[in-house]
Amino acid sequence: MGVVIPLEDSKNKQASVKPLVDLTKADMERVNQLILSKAGSDVQMIPEVANHLISSGGKRLRPMLTLASASMFGFTGDAHVKLATSVEFMHTATLLHDDVVDESDLRRGKSTARMIWGNQASVLVGDFLLGQAFRMMVDVGSLEALDVLSTAASVIAEGEVLQLSVAKNMETTEDDYLSVIRAKTAALFAAAAEVGPIVAKTDKASRNALKSYGMNLGLAFQLVDDVLDYGGKAADLGKNVGDDFREGKITLPVILSYRRGTADERSFWREAIEGGKSDDQNLEKALGLITRYGGLSDTIARAQHYGTIARDALAPLPQSPWKAALLEVIDFCIERVS
Amino acid sequence: MGVVIPLEDSKNKQASVKPLVDLTKADMERVNQLILSKAGSDVQMIPEVANHLISSGGKRLRPMLTLASASMFGFTGDAHVKLATSVEFMHTATLLHDDVVDESDLRRGKSTARMIWGNQASVLVGDFLLGQAFRMMVDVGSLEALDVLSTAASVIAEGEVLQLSVAKNMETTEDDYLSVIRAKTAALFAAAAEVGPIVAKTDKASRNALKSYGMNLGLAFQLVDDVLDYGGKAADLGKNVGDDFREGKITLPVILSYRRGTADERSFWREAIEGGKSDDQNLEKALGLITRYGGLSDTIARAQHYGTIARDALAPLPQSPWKAALLEVIDFCIERVS
């Protein structure tokens, strides 16, 4: 079920996150220390649940964005480390709540926290991490950064509810879908990248450049994620292929295949997604239709579109290893799928 | 199953929340407007879920505390209205998540949001309201108020997880129980009362007085709530009698009755609470034991103890209608049980 797409526009055949990892290495060690310390509690279940997810091998792309977007303007200090940790906690809290909402049993190849400790602990430890995230932001003391991140928290939750509203509705348009992923995923990427220039006290144009970079990178990232759900291998991804299909989640590969299909095929989609007939046989059929109508390759083309916007957003900034690393991350996010 | 306890220390036989309601009436109208506006969203499900709970007739004691604790120092403006709304949103978010965690079907006599819209919407709309609460706090711009309220958010979640850890464990001590209610209930009362003096820019002593008042009022409030769960009428309370018993929640009436009971009676409690044998017949037996060992009257005595501390906390403040109203609320909270 692997998908190979020729990346014709890519100048970088083997794009990697490594330059960004290397540049942020020292600060990420401080972030990791702070994560351990702020996920600590005398209430034993809190670090247990939090560390289960925290140690499960996520890439920590979002906190690296915050670190890089402050450091590229010469910022040194600890505000960016605290904000990067806040961003990661906001993300972790969202994952804990998402697993409850989606009734997922697997994330990144491991049992979800809710399967081990129950829905109750997942909801409440998520709330705790969100509270700790806000305390760290307050500790930094920048009302501008607080404004950006608290707005992101509202927007993310709003996006998740919107996703719930459009779930199992085959009439969802590409625009509806974009509204969902802009809110539930891209808003945090944008906020993570915007708070760097804020603490670095740089000019408004640079702040907007990083915000736009983060937003469009986030859109590309989520589009590719939604392709991977139909095209990757569960072991590689640490999740089950076809999870979105089984949950009746409407993502772009499905929207495109539905709209481009025949009346009979549209009936199939409605029965599968709205009617819940999502067994393995129907998943096979869905994958066939998605392939026939270019649902994956055209979703990747959309991702490349947003990737290009992210690249252009950074164009006016002076060349630097930081900028080069951030640009390479765009290709890395899109090439994950090949 | 009604419980009538002589309130020998009470100087005020018919204590009421009315003086506080009257004094805060104009500002509470602004709070109610702000609640409606900030619970709004283009995503229709959000105001539906939020308003279901918001309009369900809670007393809105917490936001009134914030308004009173600012107004009593002569504060006028809108910061206290925004913070009062934030406090109510934090409380509403907690209730939405609590109902999921406790699997409750009834709150204040109405079906819980999770019974109507599902656990998913309850978790996510709770997250949205928490995000909106933080945005309003940021809008006020007081880092001190942000510090107090974000710390409360962490502490509340920590207390909820602690409650989960001690659930169904009959060896829970009164001290463990106090740690739980201090965190899950009293911390928000304390924060609600402390942010008033903060925005009013009053002296540190007054700020500490209100904080201590809120904390101890919150303890008394929760102790009485836990008595009501065993002693009130479902219709009056808007919840089911014996909910805590059926959920295996360890509250002070149970702790006292367990510790004061015979070995046989302790076996009964373990089977009922830890073993889940909590049918109506066992609830009847539990109520009998609680009555025999003074579990309710002594829990009320504890509430009176904290009520006295709350009263003394305000003692150094000059007489005013505000102070009188806040003092009367202490008696009102405790007399709910009689």
Q: What is the chain A residue with the closest CA to B129?
A: A154
Could you report the per-residue pLDDT of A299-321, keeping only the tens digit for each? 999 999 999 999 999 999 999 99
Cα Rg, chain B, nearest whole Å = 20
Helix (H, G, I), strand (E, B) or coil at B3: coil
A108 CA to centre of own chain: 13
Residues of B in contact with A131 (CB under 8 A): 150-151, 153-157
Between the CA of residue B326 and those of B8, B17, B65, B222, B330, what are the distances in Å? 20, 9, 8, 17, 7
- Give the integer Cα–Cα distance in Å for A131 and B159: 12
Nearest to B128 among A137, A161, A165 (CB): A161
> What per-residue confidence (pLDDT) applies to A243?
85
Which has more confidence, A325 or A112? A325
Interface confidence, given as ipTM, is 0.89
Asked if B46 and A151 come within 8 Å (Cβ–Cβ), the reply is no
User: What CATH code is assigned to A18-329?
Assistant: 1.10.600.10
Segments in B141-173 forming alpha helices (H): 143-166
Q: Which amino acid, residue A121?
A: A
CA dihedral A214, A217, A218, A224 (to 10 degrees): -170
> What per-residue confidence (pLDDT) applies to A238?
55
Q: What integer is the mean pLDDT of B93-110?
A: 82
pLDDT confidence tier of residue B316, bands split at 50, 70 and 90: very high
pLDDT confidence tier of residue A289, bands split at 50, 70 and 90: very high
Asked if B161 and A119 come within 8 Å (Cβ–Cβ), the reply is no
Could you report the per-residue pLDDT of B56-80, keeping only the tens digit for each? 767 899 999 999 999 999 999 999 9
User: What CATH code is assigned to B18-335?
Assistant: 1.10.600.10
- Residue of A127, A162, A166, A195 to mutate when probing chain B, most B C-beta within 10 A: A127
Distance from the Cα of A78 to chain B's closest Cα (Å) equals: 18
Q: What is the chain B residue with the closest CA to A144?
A: B138
Nearest to A138 among B41, B127, B147 (CB): B147
- Give the integer Cα–Cα distance in Å for A76 and A207: 17
Between the CA of residue A304 and those of A10, A221, A291, A310, what are the distances in Å? 9, 10, 19, 10
Asked if B131 and A150 come within 8 Å (Cβ–Cβ), the reply is yes
Q: What is the chain B residue with the closest CA to A121?
A: B161
- Give the integer Cα–Cα distance in Å for A229 and A261: 21
Could you report the per-residue pLDDT of B249-306, keeping only the tens digit for each? 899 999 999 999 999 999 999 999 999 998 999 999 999 999 999 999 999 999 999 9
DSSP labels, B46-85: HHHHHHHHHTS----HHHHHHHHHHHTTT--SSHHHHHHH
Residues of B in contact with A97 (CB under 8 A): 123-124, 127
The overall average pLDDT reported for chain A is 91
Residues of A in contact with B157 (CB under 8 A): 124-125, 127-128, 130-131
The sign of the torsion formed by the CA atoms of A241, A245, A251, A253 equals: positive
Nearest to A128 among B101, B134, B158 (CB): B158
Nearest to A45 among B46, B134, B165 (CB): B165
CA dihedral A211, A214, A216, A218 (to 10 degrees): -140
Contacting A with CB below 8 Å, chain B residues are 41, 43-46, 97, 100-101, 119-121, 123-125, 127-128, 130-132, 134-135, 137-138, 141, 143, 146-147, 150-151, 153-158, 160-162, 164-165
pLDDT confidence tier of residue B338, bands split at 50, 70 and 90: low
Percent of chain B with pLDDT over 70: 92
Q: What is the chain B residue with the closest CA to A118?
A: B101
Residues of A in contact with B131 (CB under 8 A): 150-151, 153-157
Q: Which two tokens stand for residue A301?
A: 């083309």
Nearest to B143 among A46, A120, A141 (CB): A141
- Give the integer Cα–Cα distance in Å for B232 and B4: 10
Asked if B127 and A156 come within 8 Å (Cβ–Cβ), the reply is yes
Q: What is the chain A residue with the closest CA to B135?
A: A150
Could you report the per-residue pLDDT of A127-165, keeping only the tens digit for each? 999 999 999 999 999 999 999 999 999 999 999 999 988
Q: Which of A173-187, A225-239, B35-49, B99-113 comes out lowest in average pLDDT?
A: A225-239
> What per-residue confidence (pLDDT) applies to B51?
84
> What per-residue confidence (pLDDT) applies to B133?
98
> What per-residue confidence (pLDDT) applies to A11?
52
